[in-house]
Every structure is written in C-alpha cells, then in structure tokens.
Structure 1
Amino acid sequence: MATQQISSALRAPAPSRPYRQARTGYGKRSAPDQRPAAPDDFALLPERERYVAGYVDHLPDGAAMDIKSLAKDLPLYGQMAIGTALRALAVAGHLRHVRCRVETLGQSRWVTRTYWSRTARDNEWWQAHLAGEADAPPGPPSAPSVAACPPAVPQQRTTTGPAPDGAPSPAYVALARLGRVDPRLGLSAGDCAALERLASEWFARGVDADYLTRALTCGLPDRIGSPVGFVRRRLTDKIPARLPDTSAPAAPDKPARRLLVECAECGHPGPADALPDGLCRPCRADSPAVATARGGDTEAGPPAERDVHALVGSLRNLMRTP
C-alpha cells in the first residue's frame, strides 16, 4: 500500500500590493475560535484547493472574495477553477457563502459575505454559528450562539406595479443584462420579452435583480446551445418558494437581522440547516465529493456523525477538473 505524500508545492503567493477590498459590508468574515496558523493547515486538500485556501486564509476581514477578484490575484487558475475550488472548500467545511440583510441609516439592504474558518467545521457548528450571526448586531463576527434560532426569510413584496412611462420592467432589464454578465446567456429583445413574465414572478416573490442574476449565471456549463431555452428552464426550476406575508415591525431595541446561506454551486439561498456542506439538495445529490464522503451510501448520516477529516481527504482526487 503506497504511503500518501503530502505535497508542499504551490504555496499561496504573498501579494505584492494591497488586498482587494470588498464594498462596505461585503467580503470575508473570519470565524471565531480557530487554531493558530500552521504550515500543514490544508495539507489534506488537493493541490489547487490547498493553494486557494492558503491565499484566502491570509486575507483580512473585508477583503474581496468573489470569484473574479480571486482569479485576478491568483493567475495560475481561471474563474471556473477558482469557483470549483471554493465549492470544494465549502464541502470540506472551511467556508459558507451568506446573504445577510442589514439595516443602516434607516435603510435595508442585502449584502453577500463569505464566512471563513481555517479549521474545518462540521454542519452543526456552522448552523450554530450562523444562527448566532443572524441575531448579532452589525459589527465584527461574533461567537456562535448556544441557543439556535431559525433565520428569518426575506419579506415578500405585495405589489409589483408597472414601470412608469413605458420604461422596461426590472425583470426585462435583468434579463437583458445577462449577456453582459456572461456572453453564454446573451438574449435578444424578443427572448427577453418572451421570458419577462417568468422573471417577474421571481421579483413578485421578494428577490431583487442581483439575486436573479446570480441564480441564472452560477454553475453554467461550458457551452449553451440555446440561451433562451436554458434561461427559461432555470427560471422555471429554480424559482424561489412563495413565502407567507409575515411582516411585522421590529422591536425598537432589537432591529431585525436576516441571514440566508447561499449554495456554493448554484447560489440558491436557504436556512443553514437546509444546506449541509454549503450545498442545496439538488447540487448535493450531484456532488461526487459528497457521494464519496458518504462511502457509497444513498442516505447521508446526521451531521454529528460525519468525519470532517474523511470528507476533506475525499476531495484529493475528485476536484481536479476546472
């Protein structure tokens, strides 16, 4: 039996210029209670994932962690490879992508954060930590809360009135911009008009153009023969659930805090306990890394029974394609 050798190749580069900073409220958020940094922190990960993890681990809080920024700073890999590496790191327990609703100066907005842990964490730890973050006031990351409370969901819009003066609707504009985000999804004016009603149903369920764009452009195949057919399918299959109107004024001494975990593969949001390993149910079912970590079983065991180190080790030979 061959002895596994831990490679030290491709160490994360030390940047020669300041880190890219994310917009205020976005970017990296370090998890608490991590062990001190050591040379073998990510030794069990495949080469690419170890390289990306080493770089991300040295980023300060608030640094940009989107795929495009990391691809610019790590020229050895393109955007697709970086996206695959981040997904593998989520499965391994090192990160979670989170959409968080914050209140600043009387205005409410959604921001996207990436919570990072040098120490690989299991699903129960992440659920407890993110539950505490959902109730914590704005500021530095807090320690995980002992009592887990369910994260709130986005408030559903009650009206979606027509655009004034014949201007294109938000749904039409979001569809028209897809080709600017990714040329593989370039739509004609007729395509946008044909899909406008489907996209409007997303807006009627409380999402915004940024969320719609992310849901339609995450995890694209290399080639798309029919952009209009592909977008129609995603608009139909990935439409968010219709939520009951539970709007209620927040207590003056405790402003509402809302937090949803994003699927590391497709960007679909949900409560932390509904996205084990940072993946939604459909993406989790299709993930070879998760399937191998289960040892071939068709049913995943409870999060507490899963071995984080075994899961990390299973990624070595599975995450080699971009």
Structure 2
Amino acid sequence: MAAADCSPAPPAPAHPLANPGYGKRSAPEQLPRSEADFVHLYPREASIAAYIDRLPEGSAIGYKALAANIAAYGQQACASSLRRLSDAGHLRLIKEHLLLADNSFRWVTRTYFSRTSRDDAWWKTFVRGLCGVDVTERERERERERERQQVRDQAPGTEAETAPEAEAQPAGSSAATARSLAYLTLAQLGRADARMTLSAAECAALEGLAAKWLARGATPDHLTVALTAGLPSPLHSPAAIARTRLENKMPPEPVNARTIAAQTVEVNRVVMVCIGCDNDETTVKLIRGVCVDCRTEMEAEMEAEAGMETAGEAKGDGGSSEPARTLVDTARRAAEIRASAGLKSRKGKRGRK
C-alpha cells in the first residue's frame, strides 16, 4: 500500500479587493438572502453568483479574479458566466465620471451586483439615477452602514456566543466591552469555518496584526475571507495559519485609499458598459448589459454547450466526457455562428479583467 501524502495543500489566495473606488457595489433594495436566489440559473452561473453575493464591497469581480479564486472554473468559463449573469439581470458594469473637489475629473468603473434579478428598465433607471449623486456623502453613508452592521454583529448575545473569553466575563465588565473589532473578528472565525476556531490567548496574540489590516482599509468580512478561504486539509494549527496569512497577505498602507471619496464632489456622467468587451453604450447597443457582438457569442456558446450535452446524454455518459474537446467544439461553433451573422472574429477578446 502506498504511503498517504500528508503534506498540506497550498492555501488558495484570499479574494482580492479592487483598486480604491473600483470593484463590486451592491445594488439597493435587494430581497433578503435565501436558498432560492439563483435557482433560475444554470449550476455554474448559480455557483458564481452565490460566490459574488458573499464577497465584500469593493472586491475585484472580473473574470480573471474570479478564475484565480474559484478552483472549479477557468477564465473562459468565468467570462461567459459574467455575461450570462448580466443577461439574467444580476450584474451591470458602470463607468462613473467623477468631478473632484479640485475641479479635476476621473473615470472609475464599478460592477453593480444584485442577488435579486432586475429587468433592463430597472437597471436603466438605477444607472441614470447615479448621475448627480454626491459620492462623498454616498461613501460616508456606506461607512455608516458598515459601522451599524458591526454594532449589530456585536449586539448582546452575539459576542457571548463567539468571543472565547466572553463567558468568563461578567455582563458590563470593562474587559468584555473593551474588545477591539480586530479581536472580535478573530474570535468569530469559527463561524466561517469551525477549523479556524481560535482560543482567547490566540486571539489576543494575533489582535495587533488583525488591527493593522483594518487600519489599512480591510473590512471584517475581507479579513475573515482572507483567513478562511482555501484552507489546507488536514489543518493542524489554526493560529499558525492565521499568523502566516496575516503577515504574508498584509494589505498595503492606504496612501491614497480614500482620495476619491474624500475629494469627490459628484458623479457628473454615467455610462453603462458591456460586461464582455468594455465597449460603452455610446458606441454599441446594449441589451441587458451585453452588446450585440458579445450577445451573439454568448448565445452561440449556450447553443454549442447544449448540443454537446445532448450528444453526451445520447452516448449515455451524461455529457461529462472529453471536457477539453467540448470547449474546443463550443468555441468553434460560436465562431461559425458569428461568421454566418457577418460579425468579426473576437480572437483575443475575452472580456473584463
């Protein structure tokens, strides 16, 4: 019998944040999270949508960032899924032209995500409503909401369940109320993954490093993801894993991290951008956030994939054999459909980074 390989698997990188001012933004007025949020999607798109839904604000959610952090799917699959999520009403890519306090201008690109599917009319109304918004106040409100959420998370009863030392402290004692947000975030890691449950002494020892993360702009959610994503199996020492990640993945000092929010006066122009190719609505026609060219390619891919699945089922293998050949046939069929429609080849164009 061959000896088992007990060496730990290398940990997957924590999902990265986008540059300041960019990245994921949650659309307003969403319904509460439920198990039925993405049941109308195909399994791949449902899985990626659920992953995006749980990422903190400002996360990078281009196809490269997703492929680097979701082991099951590569860049081509993630790029295709982003187009399909836009078509299903869950995503829109928006460019905002910001007027800054010093009378200079700056474009930023944000990906707005909604777990609640929206139709094209809703998205268009929402996007037009962004024009003229005081971004400084908007960012302040986001910060206030984060602070309110942190207060809710630390409400009486929650801390007693998650903080290792809370049970030993009398209600209202200074030691129980003086715990920092960094300490509490570490103490709650066991909620995200039971294997990362830390003792009171371990939380205290790592508190300083975690506090540096928060001081450099990381949110408690981002810190939690960084310390629990892609854990090795078996996991022998959660405290050692936490220390290594806190030290090696420390965010850079926020030299200009709040420059946009601090200086912005308002959004003076907003354009919707194709999620597949970055062309904006002033140069191409967009239908549910996808331009005509990218839509043709998306529909060709879906048709080719459906054909491959049907052929696989006819063979009795469930369509799961020869995945590499399936991808090649899908791309070939998409190219054929594009050529028959008189569209140019999209060689080398794969969507957002």
Q: Shorter-chain TM-score category?
A: 0.3 to 0.5
Q: Who wins on radius of gyration, i.e. which is larger? A: 2
Question: Normalized per residue, which structure has more helix?
Answer: 2
TM-score, normalised via structure 1 length: 0.47
TM-score, normalised via structure 2 length: 0.43
